[in-house]
């Protein structure tokens, strides 16, 4: 439903005049920001929105407008403007009116269902889905109620339970006659709406204070963990030391789990041999049967005695493995390793056909490189190989991070972003694509590739597994490369991402172990983790309980399972031994909601709902230590520390 053309034109004209008057009086934005080249009314959209936000907070200005009548308006127009002092700014639940006329939209708040008209287009055309949660200002407009031209929809899924509850509330409002259709009805109901809002806020505040006081300390079945209250540095150090101690105890209780035994299980029986012919004839333990080669393959491995062929093979090695293989060649192809020295497998060359074999020798191990390969290694351009390996590792890491941040990304887009961020990196797009395809299922690249006739996508492995399950395939089958059309799951994600610019990878994310690790250290996740540190179940591990819960919850967050996963949140807590007390529910829900709203998710193309909301409103948002959105009044000092009012600084 929309206003009749004449009424729509009258409303728009009056709103423009009020905006012009307010700009002269208040100068919320500069003239350059306020005016534009629009031939219809010459006011920029941003300028009008920012100015009107100030008007609705200062309705006295509307009375001043009516009294001054700067544009010589008639009584009817002045009456409309004066009625706008009865404006209602609120976060509304928006839905179709049960039993109403076709397209009749209602904005629900404080038990009232308010029928709202579109100005020149239906309200449904402005929303991505219905029901929806929006923030706007409602105004009386003679015999109708309209919104004040601008409406911000919160990027959140209401979930089945919330939609059902909203429907019940709307039906109840209809039965009890609390449906407002006219401007006069809105004006009459406004005092009751505001009183209800104040009473509800006060009740929630009192209840919250009571529950927080009760929940401040650990309750029955919980204890304050040893990590509670530690600084981030001390906490990280304590967890690392504890994890090392646990690993050492595990090794003492089960010596066969030592790192040396991992290599021993891949040792060749018998005495060491050193020639290519002897080594290539050996069946390496644990070798996959599919790795056996025909005569052409044998020619390839014998070809490693040629420096050029050896360089080509070494281009598939990571930087750390290159260091180990070069060291093995420097040692003449024989590297004796004492078992007790092995604290990291990355410090030694990995067993590799044609390059490195392991033999047991005395109480230790011997890494052996064929004599012919050792000779070829002296003529290899190691500096070029290391430079290539560094850039190759950076490329694959960057693509991995893109997948973790957004769930899926077109390969061409990923290449463009990589080249923009690393202008000195690989420039040939086909070379980049070849590196990605050659690295599938390797330890260097945990991502997957899915190809359709139109596009090639990098996708997160969890999406691929879910796609395979839906298609009735073995989710854990080897090979990450699928040659079929996108399934319903992936098509749905692409549809949700449409129209949302991809969030770029930041240097802070790249400096972290992964995007997930970066997310774990963001304020919303850290706030929930700190609460769990101080409320460890009596049977829980002080050091790993909170970490494990946060790790499991991040999957829910990144998948975009926000409103619909409150129960999943408590299920994960319960699965880890935490049974929430009634007094803790409010705090836990707030912490979980802050985490969902404050961290990236795949449907938002890597943006958090809070960030997306800030981009939509074109204002910088600030957050409290627990990750919740900081409520900043337009006349409050700006939290950025500039000394200016928020409305004249980051709130512009």
pLDDT tens digit sequence for 151-192: 888 876 667 778 888 899 999 999 999 999 999 999 999 999
Average pLDDT in the chain: 86
Torsions phi, psi for 334 (to 5 deg): -140, 115
Q: What is the pLDDT of residues 417-452, one digit of tens each?
A: 999 999 999 999 999 999 988 887 665 556 688 877
Q: pLDDT at position 474, please?
A: 67
Percent of the chain with pLDDT over 90: 53
- pLDDT at residue 481 is higher than 50: no
Stretch 51-70: mean pLDDT: 93
Q: pLDDT at position 208, please?
A: 63
Residues 6+ apart with CB under 8 A from 600: 405, 406, 503, 515, 519, 557, 558, 606, 607, 608
Q: pLDDT at position 444, please?
A: 57
Q: pLDDT at position 375, please?
A: 96
Q: pLDDT at position 86, please?
A: 95
Stretch 310-319: mean pLDDT: 92
Q: pLDDT at position 601, please?
A: 93
Helix-strand-coil split of the chain, %, nearest 5: 50, 15, 35
Contact present, 481 and 434 (Cβ < 8 Å): no
| Better-scored residue on pLDDT, 117 or 258 | 117
Stretch 30-57: mean pLDDT: 85
Lowest mean pLDDT among 19-33, 278-292, 430-444, 536-550: 278-292
Q: pLDDT at position 289, please?
A: 43
Q: pLDDT at position 258, please?
A: 75
Q: pLDDT at position 292, please?
A: 42
Stretch 47-60: mean pLDDT: 90
The pairs formed by 310-316 with CB atoms below 8 angstroms and a separation of 24 or more are 310/373, 310/376, 310/377, 310/380, 311/380, 311/381, 311/384, 311/385, 313/354, 313/355, 314/380, 314/385, 315/385, 315/388, 315/389, 315/392, 316/438
pTM: 0.67
- pLDDT at residue 102 is higher than 70: yes
DSSP letter at 148 equals: E
Cis before 131 (ω within 30): yes
Cα dihedral 250, 253, 255, 259, rounded to 10, equals 0
Sheet holding 481-483, edge to edge: 408-410, 456-459, 448-451, 481-483
Q: pLDDT at position 281, please?
A: 87
Torsions phi, psi for 4 (to 5 deg): -60, 155
Q: pLDDT at position 290, please?
A: 42
Nearest-CA neighbor of 529 among 235, 214, 237? 235
Q: pLDDT at position 560, please?
A: 82
Q: pLDDT at position 223, please?
A: 92
Lowest mean pLDDT among 479-483, 508-512, 557-561: 479-483
Stretch 316-336: mean pLDDT: 94
Q: pLDDT at position 99, please?
A: 87
| Better-scored residue on pLDDT, 571 or 562 | 571
- pLDDT at residue 287 is higher than 70: no
Stretch 273-280: mean pLDDT: 92
Percent of the chain with pLDDT over 70: 89
Q: What is the pLDDT of residues 209-258, one digit of tens each?
A: 665 566 566 778 899 999 999 999 999 999 999 988 887 777 666 655 67
Find how far residue 636's CA is from the centre of its chain: 30
Q: pLDDT at position 126, please?
A: 87
| Better-scored residue on pLDDT, 486 or 350 | 350
């Amino acid at each position: 439903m929309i206003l009749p053309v004449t009424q729509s034109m009258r409303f728009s004209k009056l709103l423009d005049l009020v905006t012009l008057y307010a700009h002269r009086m208040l100068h919320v934005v500069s003239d350059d920001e306020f005016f534009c080249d629009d031939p219809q009314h010459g006011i920029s959209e941003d300028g009008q929105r920012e100015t009107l936000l100030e008007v609705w907070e200062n309705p006295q200005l509307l009375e001043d407008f009516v009294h001054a009548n700067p544009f010589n308006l008639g009584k009817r127009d002045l009456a409309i403007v004066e009625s706008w002092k009865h404006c209602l700014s609120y976060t509304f639940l928006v839905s179709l009116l049960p039993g109403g006329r076709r397209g009749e939209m209602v904005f629900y708040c404080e038990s009232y269902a308010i029928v709202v008209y579109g100005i020149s287009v239906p309200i449904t055309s402005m929303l991505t889905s219905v029901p929806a949660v929006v923030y706007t200002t409602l105004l009386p407009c003679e015999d109708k109620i309209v919104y004040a031209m601008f409406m911000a929809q919160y990027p959140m899924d209401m979930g089945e339970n919330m939609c059902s509850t909203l429907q019940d509330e709307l039906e109840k409002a209809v039965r009890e006659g609390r449906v407002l259709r006219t401007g006069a009805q809105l004006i009459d109901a406004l005092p009751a709406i505001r009183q209800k809002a104040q009473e509800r806020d006060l009740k929630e505040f009192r209840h919250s204070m009571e529950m927080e006081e009760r929940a401040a300390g650990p309750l029955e079945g919980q204890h304050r963990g040893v990590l509670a209250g530690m600084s981030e540095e001390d906490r990280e150090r304590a967890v690392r030391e504890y994890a090392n101690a646990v690993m050492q105890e595990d090794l003492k209780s089960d010596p066969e789990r030592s790192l040396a035994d991992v290599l021993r299980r891949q040792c060749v029986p018998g005495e060491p041999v050193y020639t290519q012919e002897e080594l290539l004839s050996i069946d390496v333990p644990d070798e996959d049967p599919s790795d056996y080669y025909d005569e052409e393959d044998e020619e390839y491995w014998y070809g490693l005695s040629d420096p050029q062929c050896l360089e080509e093979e070494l281009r598939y090695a990571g930087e750390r493995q290159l260091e180990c293989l070069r060291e093995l060649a420097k040692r003449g192809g024989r590297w004796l390793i004492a078992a007790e020295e092995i604290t990291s497998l990355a410090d030694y060359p990995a067993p590799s056909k044609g390059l490195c074999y392991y033999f047991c020798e005395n109480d230790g191990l011997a890494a052996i490189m064929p004599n012919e390969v050792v000779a070829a290694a002296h003529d290899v351009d190691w500096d070029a190989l290391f430079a290539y390996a560094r850039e190759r590792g950076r490329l694959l890491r960057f693509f991995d991070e893109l997948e973790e941040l957004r769930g899926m990304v077109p390969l061409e887009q990923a290449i463009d972003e990589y080249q923009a961020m690393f202008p000195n990196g690989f420039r040939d797009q086909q070379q980049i694509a070849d590196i990605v395809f050659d690295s599938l299922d390797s330890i260097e690249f945990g991502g997957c590739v899915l190809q359709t006739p139109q596009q090639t996508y990098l996708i997160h492995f969890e999406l691929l597994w879910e796609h395979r399950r839906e298609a009735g395939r073995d989710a854990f089958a080897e090979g990450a490369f699928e040659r079929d059309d996108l399934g319903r799951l992936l098509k749905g994600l692409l549809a949700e991402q449409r129209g949302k610019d991809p969030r770029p990878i930041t240097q802070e994310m790249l400096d972290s172990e992964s995007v997930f690790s970066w997310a774990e250290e963001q304020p919303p996740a850290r706030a929930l983790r700190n609460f769990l540190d101080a409320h460890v179940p009596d049977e829980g591990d002080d050091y790993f309980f909170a970490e494990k819960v946060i790790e499991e919850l991040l999957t829910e967050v990144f998948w975009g399972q926000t409103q619909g996963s409150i129960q999943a949140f408590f299920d994960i807590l319960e699965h880890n031994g935490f049974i929430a007390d009634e007094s803790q529910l409010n705090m836990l829900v707030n912490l979980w909601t802050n985490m969902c709203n404050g961290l990236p998710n795949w449907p938002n193309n890597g943006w958090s709902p809070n960030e997306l909301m800030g981009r939509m409103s074109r204002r910088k948002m600030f957050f409290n230590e627990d990750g919740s959105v900081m409520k900043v009044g337009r006349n409050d000092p700006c939290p950025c520390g500039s000394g200016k009012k928020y409305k004249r600084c980051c709130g512009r």
